[in-house]
Amino acid sequence: RLAKLVDAGLDLVVIDSSQGNSSFQIDIIKHIKSTYGDRVDVLAGNVVTRDQAANLIAAGADGLRIGMGSGSICITQEVMAVGRPQGTGVFQVSQFARKFGVPTVADGGIGNIGHIAKALSLGASCVMMGGLLAGTTESPGEYFFLDGKRLKKYRGMGSLDAMEKNDSDNSGSQARYFSESDTVKVAQGVTGAVVDKGSIKQFVPYLITGLQHSLQDMGVPHLSQLWEMVDDGRVRFERRSAAAQIEGGVHGLFSFEKRLYK
């Protein structure tokens, strides 16, 4: 399959696994790099620690996805007691990967523009947006109404719904969680619904403009300068009390309407 994709012009392959630091992934990375060299870049993962990242970088990974159990529809941390707070994982892995010139992707937990700004400030090169883009017109699935709200179904790859959708030996969902041969399927995700967000033609420009304003408020002229300004202390993270978090949101109103963009 990969050979045919490369012949068709593929220049980047994403290896998708809930725990990327495995002999399976290391072997496939080595095979891809030895077979195709620089013709194909490999985005490997997922990882959340420096040790995991080191093994994949040593195998030849060109980029890393960071995140384990932090997605909106993921229950890996709850059920398996495995994972890491996303901010910590992004910071630690990105800081390490940067020494080798390997870019990173913050994968999971991105729910608004502020989360994008935080992920980039912590060292990520870019972000993945699953739940944030779910519910847009262009996302898979049909709209339905519940309690007067227009919704779309959104399921995790680790949900039983996804595993049962394709119970063949080639199921992407089961392969991602190394459960192809399991008699009992253990869910690491849920199935839910998200509110209609309209078309990405309006939603993505809103995200871009919002991020620009976020950087402007930080005093960061360009994304290329963000990491430098974080490293030298011009952009800082501070711990916020519970009272400060309440103060930083809408408060003191009887009612309000929250419209994110126009």
Contact 107, 66 (CB under 8 A): yes
* DSSP E strand boundaries for the chain: 12-14, 41-47, 63-66, 104-107, 126-128, 143-146, 149-155, 191-195
Contact 190, 159 (CB under 8 A): yes
Helix (H) or strand (E) holding 246: helix 242-247
- Using CA atoms, how far apart are residues 128 and 4, in angstroms rounded to an integer? 26
Q: Which of 71, 22, 20 is nearest to 48 (CA)?
A: 20
| Residue 210 burial (C-beta neighbours within 10 Å; 0-12, 13-18, 19+) | middle
Reduced to 3 states (helix: H, G, I; strand: E, B; else coil), residue 150 is strand
74 a catalytic residue: yes
Contact 15, 45 (CB under 8 A): yes
- How many other CB atoms sit within 10 Å of the CB of residue 158? 28
* CA geometry: angle 14, 183, 162, nearest 5 deg: 40
Give the distance, in angstroms, between the CA of residue 60 and the centroid of all CA atoms in the same chain. 21
Pick the catalytic residue: 176, 239, 240, 259? Answer: 176
Tell me the H-state helices in 69-199.
Answer: 76-80, 86-98, 113-121, 160-165, 172-176
Pick the catalytic residue: 74, 236, 239, 240? Answer: 74
176 a catalytic residue: yes
Catalytic positions, written as ranges:
74, 176
